Every structure is written in structure tokens, then in C-alpha cells.
Amino acid sequence: MMPPMNSGNLNGSSEEQKLRKLFRSLSAEDKKSLVDFAEFLAQKTSPVDEPLPEPKQIPRPESESVVKAIKRLSESYFMLDKDHMLQDTSALMAQHIMQGREAVEVIDELEAVFAKHYKARQEQNS
């Protein structure tokens, strides 16, 4: 279902009405594509001068699983789009599970991945 649009007008503008009508006529897959594209446009046009929040400082436990590390880092770096990081994180998780790579090594690399994405986002906002 399409979220309500704020236009100040109870019925919405003619563009909003047209968009709603078109949205309702799309397949579920096309609706998702449209929403994904709208989110992309909204991110692209968001104010650049909006400061990027600092990551939450959540200490790394002495003994931590890779899954818990991903959850901790996701909470620490709440401002990052996890979809953009999915390939990197899933590849590291697969190395740990399928190839037996040590959790400590994978977690070190996950921390570097999150920090790299945060730095890229900072540069994008500059």
C-alpha cells in the first residue's frame, strides 16, 4: 500500500493522484521497484548539509559470533543503508560458514567494511 502523501491538500495534487492511480495498477514486483526508485531519488535529493550522525560506540565483546557482530555493527552504524553493504557482509559470512574462516578475522574485516561505507557516506555528504 502506498503511504499517504503530504501536500497540504486533502485530496493531494493532480500529480499525486496520478501517481496513486498508476501505483495501484502495477504488479507487486513493479510496485516494489517504484518504491525502491522513489527511495533512491529521495536519498539523492536529500539536503547535503544535513550532518551525518556519528556511529554509536558499542564495545566489541571479547567473545562474539559473526552474526552478533553484524547486529552490533548495524546498530552502531544505524545511518548506513544495509542493502548497499549486503554483498560485502554476506560474502564474509559465507567465508566464515562455508570455508571455516576464523570469526575474529571475519569480524575484523566486517568492522573495516562498515567503517569504509561510513567514510564513503561522509565524503558523499561533504
Q: Please state, in angstroms and rounded to a whole number, the distance separating the CA atoms of residues 7 and 1.
A: 18
pLDDT given at position 53: 93
Model's pTM, two decimal places? 0.61
Question: Of the ranges 33-47, 89-103, 109-123, which one carries the lowest mean pLDDT score?
Answer: 33-47
Q: Which residue has the cell 560474502?
A: 91
The ranges assigned to domains in the chain are 1-46, 66-125
> If you average pLDDT over residues 13-33, what whole number do you get?
86
pLDDT, tens digit (0-9, with 9 covering 90-100), for 53-66 = 999 999 999 999 99
pLDDT given at position 124: 84
Q: Kindly report the CA angle at 32 between 125 and 19, in degrees rounded to 5? A: 90
Q: Please state, in angstroms and rounded to a whole number, the distance separating the CA atoms of residues 18 and 99.
A: 52
Q: Please state, in angstroms and rounded to a whole number, the distance separating the CA atoms of residues 111 and 3.
A: 35
